[in-house]
Amino acid sequence: MLENIEIMKRVKSVKDTDVTNKRVLIRVDFNVPMDSEFNISDDVRIREALPTINFCIDSNAKSIILVSHLGRPKGRDEKYSLKHILKRVERLLNREVLFIDDFQAQKDLINSQSDSKIIILENTRFYEGETKNDESLGRELATLCDVYINDAFGTSHRKHASTYGIAQYADVKVAGLLLKKEIDSFAKALTKPTRPLLLIVGGAKVSSKLTLLESILDVVDKIIIGGAMSNTFLKALGHNMQQSLVENDLLYEALKVLEKAKHKGVNIYLPVDVVSTDDISNPTLEHVKITPVQDIPTNYMTADIGPASLRLFKEVVSASDTIVWNGPMGIYEIDKFSRGTFRLAHYISDTYSYSLVGGGDTADAVDKSGEKDNMSFISTGGGASLELLEGKVLPAFEILEKK
């Protein structure tokens, strides 16, 4: 069992406190993907923040201040201004929203708002102290509110001034409804799951995902490993992975995970065949091969799992009652290499299992596969969901009041 989840489940929610006539500050995660013309390509993180904002409106909060980061700016940079998302927030809330360019200079304006006025502060990462969890920035943000609500699950693994520091100085500090929904969903999948519990890991962040595997062996019954993640394991087992992405420093770690899994009776399933290419930018038929993992051609790199692996993984998926998925099976961004990931999404949606998807790219891949609505829960957290699976108590949860 993951004890961190038990601890995080105990945070008080906005429903456990009174926000009527209070100035509330909600840390949201409006870090949404945008194209070069600032069109938002996926606004799910904004939509997922609406229940908490609406709850505060319905409870007649005096004012509602939204605080978020966008991207990773170095200082003030218009490209990362939250002005770009203002219209979408106004449209989704069906209300006019007050944009505050410089909260330090506009405190009186902020404090004079009433009737549940919605206010958005400019990108909190425009302030140097944000990512350093600077004490004075946290304290200053706290003076803006009577109640601090954290609803930024996607940023809950960051110990920053607006996610952590502020809560040290706020009188009341509680979780928003999204934070609660996320943790309850992870709890459902991992604390008392309907078994067998299958973990599917893929993608590319091998080092952090290896730590995750080590800590989760006590919790899960079986693990499928695919994507670039599996290259490291296959190489550790002696296969020649040719030009594939491999973490050579982690071969021993990978072997240790396999050994430990065997010891604990957790079955690990690796690809038996792969789709590989010697020209990722021009994957025409003559540059793509499907082979057993033993026969990857010289100078080729893996780009997807093969059809035989998919048939085997389908059996494992259909024999599981709870499925947690983090990491695509291949380079799903390229059509030719998306089949492994998309088919796996179809297989999961064909089951009656409880399915939880975490990871920015995995969520995107599930969306592209057309199966978004057929998953039980898709987390808004990438890095946050990974750290949660690693067994960590996330800082944003750690600092909130507990029941």
d(CA 34, CA 209): 27
Q: Which stretch binds ligand 3PG (CB under 6 A): 91-99, 153-161, 251-259, 289-297?
A: 153-161
392 touches ligand 3PG (CB under 6 A): no
Q: Of 80 and 342, which has the nearer Cβ to ligand 3PG? A: 80
The residue number with the shortest CB distance to Mg ion is: 361
**Residues 247, 250, 251, 256, CA torsion sign:** negative
Q: Which stretch binds ligand ADP (CB under 6 A): 14-22, 59-67, 72-80, 325-333?
A: 325-333
151 touches ligand 3PG (CB under 6 A): no
Residue from 129, 165, 193, 203 binding ligand ADP (CB under 6 A)? 203
Residue from 129, 328, 381, 395 binding ligand ADP (CB under 6 A)? 328
Among ligand 3PG, Mg ion, ligand ADP, none, the one that 245 touches (CB under a kind-dependent 5 to 8 A) is ligand ADP
271 touches ligand ADP (CB under 6 A): no
227 touches ligand 3PG (CB under 6 A): no
154 touches ligand 3PG (CB under 6 A): yes
45 as an active site residue: the answer is: yes
Residue from 138, 154, 193, 359 binding ligand ADP (CB under 6 A)? 359
Element (H, E) at 361: helix 360-368
Distances (CA, A) of 328 to 130, 165, 336, 347: 32, 34, 14, 14
Q: How far is the CB of 381 from Mg ion (least distance, A)?
A: 11
3-state secondary structure labels for all residues of the chain: CCHHHHHHHCECEHHHCCCCCCEEEEECCCCCCECCCCCECCCHHHHCCHHHHHHHHHCCCCEEEEECCCCCCCCCCHHHCCHHHHHHHHHHHCCCEEEECCCCCCHHHHHCCCCCEEEEECCHHHCCCCCCCCHHHHHHHHCCCCEEEECCHHHCCCCCHHHHHHHHHCCEEEECHHHHHHHHHHHHHHCCCCCCEEEEECCCCHHHHHHHHHHHCCCCCEEEECHHHHHHHHHHCCCCCCCCCCCHHHHHHHHHHHHHHHHHCCEEECCCEEEEECCCCCCCHHHEEEEEHHHCCCCCEEEEECHHHHHHHHHHHHCCCEEEEECCCCCCCCHHHCHHHHHHHHHHHCCCCEEEEECHHHHHHHHHCCCHHHCCEECCCCHHHHHHHCCCCCHHHHCCCEC
Residue from 52, 322, 362, 380 binding ligand ADP (CB under 6 A)? 362
Residue from 29, 122, 247, 361 binding Mg ion (CB under 5 A)? 361
Distances (CA, A) of 272 to 183, 229, 237, 325, 401: 35, 14, 12, 20, 48
**Total number of residues that touch Mg ion (CB under 5 A):** 2
Q: How far is the CB of 72 from ligand 3PG (least distance, A)?
A: 5
3-state secondary structure of 388: helix
Q: How far is the CB of 131 from ligand 3PG (least distance, A)?
A: 8
387 touches Mg ion (CB under 5 A): no
360 as an active site residue: the answer is: yes
Instruction: Determine which one of 138, 203, 227, 360 is catalytic.
Output: 360
Q: How far is the CB of 357 from ligand ADP (least distance, A)?
A: 8
382 touches ligand 3PG (CB under 6 A): yes
Q: Which stretch binds ligand ADP (CB under 6 A): 74-82, 131-139, 356-364, 395-403?
A: 356-364
381 touches Mg ion (CB under 5 A): no
383 touches ligand 3PG (CB under 6 A): yes
Instruction: Determine which one of 62, 125, 181, 205 is catalytic.
Output: 205
155 touches ligand 3PG (CB under 6 A): yes
Please report, as ranges, the residues that interact with ligand 3PG according to CB under 6 A: 29, 31, 72, 154-155, 158, 382-383
Q: Which spans of this chain sit near ligand ADP (rule: CB under 6 A)?
A: 203-205, 227-228, 245, 302-303, 326-328, 330-331, 333, 359-362, 382
Residues that bind Mg ion (CB under 5 A): 360-361
Catalytic residue numbers, as ranges: 45, 205, 360, 383
